[in-house]
Amino acid sequence: MIEILSSGRCIACDICVKACPANVFDPMPNAPPAIARQADCQTCFLCEIYCPTDALYVAPNAEGPSVIVEAEVEAAGLFGSYARALGWRRGKPGGADKDPTFRLRAASR
């Protein structure tokens, strides 16, 4: 589930408010959005890649909240790690043209 919205990284663009399919975030006046409905999070990690400043961290536990603080995520280099793995940058797509999944499909036959 969504656990961390880094106020240091966030530029309050509110893209996550719009892009989250579960409507987890609420916009706040002149401030970063609030994680308003964490329990509705479906742990899809998509908010992370839509965030232009890698300010969001989704913990792997989909069944409930996790105990983790921003400093741990920062130290482990996890902010933006899914976007980097895909090839997305600054909230924009990239890397689909390098996807080697066709090799997996050939190998799995």
Partner 1 sequence: MTAAPQVTRHRNRGETLNLAADVLVIGGGPSGAWAAIAATEAGARVILVDKGYLGTSGATAPSNTGTWFVPPGDARRAAIDRRLALTHGLADPRWAHRTLDTAWEKLHTLADWGYPFPDDETGKPYLANLRGPDYMHFMRRRVRRAGVKILDHHPALELLSVGDAVAGAAGVDRQRNRPWRIGAGAVVMATGGCAFGERILGATGLTGDGYLMAAEAGAVMSGMELSAQYAFTPQPSALNKGLPFRWASFSREDGTPIDTAGKDRHVEIAKALQEGPVFARYDKASSELRTWLRQGQPNCFLPLDRMGIDPFSERWPVTLRCEGTVRGVGGIKLAGNDCSTGVAGLYAAGDAASRERLTGAITGGGGPNASWAIASGSWAGRAAAAFAAQIAGRVDDRAVASLGGVGLRTDTAAEGSDDAAEFVAAVRAEMLPLERNFFRRGETLRQSLTRLDAVWGELRRRSPGGSIAALKLREAAAMTATGRWAYASALARTESRGMHRRLDVSSADPALVCSFEAAGLAQVRVTRGEIRPEVPAR
- Where along the sequence are the contacts to partner 1 (CB under 8 A)? 17-23, 40-46, 49-50, 59-64, 78, 81-82, 85-86, 88, 93, 95-105, 107-108
| Contact (Cβ atoms closer than 8 angstroms) between residue 33 and residue 12 | yes
Could you tell me the end-to-end alpha-carbon distance of the chain, in angstroms, rounded to an integer? 34
Q: Closest separation between CB of residue 7 and partner 1, Å?
A: 21
Least Å from the CB of residue 38 to partner 1 = 12
Q: CB burial class (10 A; 0-12, 13-18, 19+) of residue 13?
A: middle
- Closer residue to partner 1 in complex, CB, 10/17: 17
b/e burial code for range 74-99 (CB count within 10 A of at least 16 → b): eeeebbbebbeebebeebeeeeeeee
User: What's the min distance (Å) between Cβ of 98 and partner 1?
Assistant: 6
Residue 34 or 95 with smaller CB distance to partner 1: 95
Closer of 7 and 23 to partner 1 (Cβ): 23
CA distance 60 to 40: 15
Q: Shortest approach of partner 1 to residue 105 CB, angstroms?
A: 6
